[in-house]
Structure 1
Amino acid sequence: MQLSIFTVDAFTHQPFCGNPAAVCLLEDELEEGWHQKIATEMNLSETAFIRKLHPADDFTKSSCFGLRWFTPTNEVPLCGHATLASAAVLFHKKKNMNSVLTFITLSGKLNARQAGDRIILDLPLYLAYPQDFQEVEEFVKVAVGDMNVQDVRYSPDTKKFLVRLSDVYERSDLEKLKVKTQELLRAERTGKVKGLIVTLKGKVGGKLERYDFYSRYFAPWNGISEDPVTGSAHAVLSSYWSQQLEKKEMCAFQCSSRGGELKILLRDDGRVDIGGQAVFVLEGSLTI
């Protein structure tokens, strides 16, 4: 069997930045076990599989598709950057004629639309709740060492743990942070955490200070030491920073070594629009 496959760098306007995702177009049903095998072979943070919901569907004409995401080790319920990459494949490679695409996923229906040079994702918004610092102190210390921490939160819906660094730090301090991801696995013994967000308030004003907040994201529980740019983490970060900054429209930067920019708009219906650009770096056929 031959599958069309693409590698797309998401949340960036230049190749080899942002977050790479593999996107497979499934003309026919794929035997269940192959999804994970292909994702493991691709060895990217996510491999997305777009499938037709009905035999007569068409990647150019239809507006609704099934979508699943796999890391190298397991399937995940939500992945923002691979959803953006999937929409980019349909809009730009398959020349899909619809203004809005709908994906049926483990997180419900997700919409994607084009807006200028960006693709806007309609994602669920997740709350993160304050934690007793004494109860999580060991885990936080493993995560950020002796850095001063201003807030710690947990999002039960996403199993993401959020650590906010003190406002005295700069973006460069977050970029230099070295997180020992294997020690995170040993320190978190509850089984409740599947991802660590470390975030910092930004400075908006000057030409080089245009981001409301910065973040990095670590997910060794899913076989990913550090994820370059994470849409699902921003479904949590958007809620948190909107409350802290009293803003509904924000610009964020995930400062991994690859880096990526996200435009955020909280909507009145309790969801969030997260927008970004995408660049194609590879196109071919996968033989199984």
Structure 2
Amino acid sequence: MHRIPIYQVDAFASRLFAGNPAAVMLLDRFLGDSLLRDIAAENNLAETAFLVPDGERYRLRWFTPTTEVPLCGHATLASAAVVMERLEPGRTEVIFESASGPLAVRRTQTGYVMNFPSRPSAPTRPPPNLAEALGAVPVEVLTDTFNYIAVLKDAQTVRALSPDIAAIARMDRVGVVVTAPGDASYDFVSRYFAPAKGIPEDPVTGGAHCALTPYWAARLNKTAFFAFQASRRGGELVCRLVDGRVELEGACVFYLEGKVTI
């Protein structure tokens, strides 16, 4: 029987019930993959992060309710908050060893800054039925290793989308990022649909911004951005392109702390 500490944290949020909730679970070793998937499915959040201490660092894996993923921004942010606010209070930096390499996170006065790999994208021919699935005609379509990126004409179109999730699930990429020039104080806005990973719409997505940051850097001729992911919960991110990598900055709010018996 295992008694596993669990934390549920709203990431990329400065108040409860905003941003993207992630579960963070502390283990002394990784359990079997099928059990980790079952735990993540039981948590029923976009991602569950599993942490294992490794000297001064932590090993980190992320699972959606259906599969393991190679990178997850909001659950990494939540994991950093757990390490620096609960496990090792007063610590100001941590490095996570992950499938995407070492990921450094440092604490700031208002939140945390993550250093992530960049995901360059390239223009591509729109996949069949993309416009019909989204309910909007993209002005440009790009792809990276994981997702299609559909650039729409304006922020209001992004905010108003009500896509055909089943049609998106049938595409030959795990997800579709939609984006447009920002409104209000935002440089750009976005949304992310990934039903193939068990996430119809992700509230706030760090991995998507690893592709959006270099894209908008080339479009807007700047390297720092204030971005908004326009899901129902919504989330704000500061994004920077630094030495070929992407910095993502945001805050966290703790919602739940307890133990799971397995």
The TM-score range, normalised by the shorter chain, is over 0.9
- Residue 152 (1) aligns with residue 141 (2): yes
CA–CA distance in structure 2, aligned partners of residues 27 and 105 of structure 1 = 16
Q: Structure 2: give runs of 5+ residues left out of the alignment.
A: none
Q: Which has the larger radius of gyration?
A: 1
Q: Percent identity?
A: 42
**Residue matched to 1:87:** 80
Q: Distance in 2 between matches of 1:219 and 1:125?
A: 19
Q: TM-score, normalised by structure 2?
A: 0.96
Q: Distance in 2 between matches of 1:216 and 1:29?
A: 32
Q: Closer, same or farther in 2 for the Cα pair 1:284/1:50, shift >3 Å?
A: same
Partner of residue 176, structure 2: 196
Deviating 4+ runs (over 4 angstroms): none
Is the 1:11–1:18 contact (alpha carbons within 8 Å) kept by the matching residues of 2? yes
Which residue of 158, 162, 172 corresponds with 1:174?
158
After superposition, the Cα gap between the structure-2 partners of 1:105 and 1:28, relative to the gap in structure 1 and judged at 3 Å, is: closer
Would you say the 8 A contact 1:142–1:184 is kept in 2? Answer: no
For the 8 Å contact 1:250–1:265, the answer to whether it is kept is: yes
Provide the residue aligned with 1:206 in structure 2. Answer: none
| 2:166 aligned counterpart, secondary structure | helix
Count of residue correspondences: 261
TM-score by length of 1: 0.87
Superimposed CA distance per residue, residues 16-46 of structure 1 (whole angstroms, 9 cap, x where no aligned partner): 1100000001134424432111101001000
Candidates 244, 248, 259, aligned match of 1:285: 259
Residue deviations 1:219-243 (CA, integer Å, cap 9, x gap): 0110110000000000000011111
Kept after mapping to 1: 8 A contact 2:40/2:64: yes
The whole-number CA distance in structure 2 between the counterparts of 1:236 and 1:66 is 24
SS at match of 2:129: helix
Could you tell me which residue of structure 1 aligns to residue 43 of structure 2?
Answer: 42
Name the counterpart of 1:128.
121
1:238 aligns with 2:213: yes
Pairwise CA distance, 1:79: 0.2
Identify unmatched segments of 5+ residues in structure 1.
Answer: 204-208
Aligned amino acid, residue 183 of structure 1 = A
Which residue number corresponds to residue 185 of structure 1?
A: 169
In structure 2, the partner of 1:222 is 197
Amino acid in structure 2 at the alignment position of 1:228:
P
SS in 2 for 1:143: helix
Match of 2:69 in 1: 76
SS of equivalent to 1:173? helix
Could you tell me how far apart the structure 2 residues matched to 1:144 and 1:185 are?
A: 12
Check whether the contact 2:6–2:25 (CA below 8 A) recurs between aligned residues: yes
Q: How far does residue 172 in structure 1 lie from its aligned partner after superposition? A: 3.3
Query: Cα gap change, 1:3/1:247 in structure 2, threshold over 3 Å: closer, same or farther?
Result: same
Aligned residue number for residue 276 of structure 1? 250
CA distance in 2: counterparts of 1:150 and 1:173, whole angstroms = 12
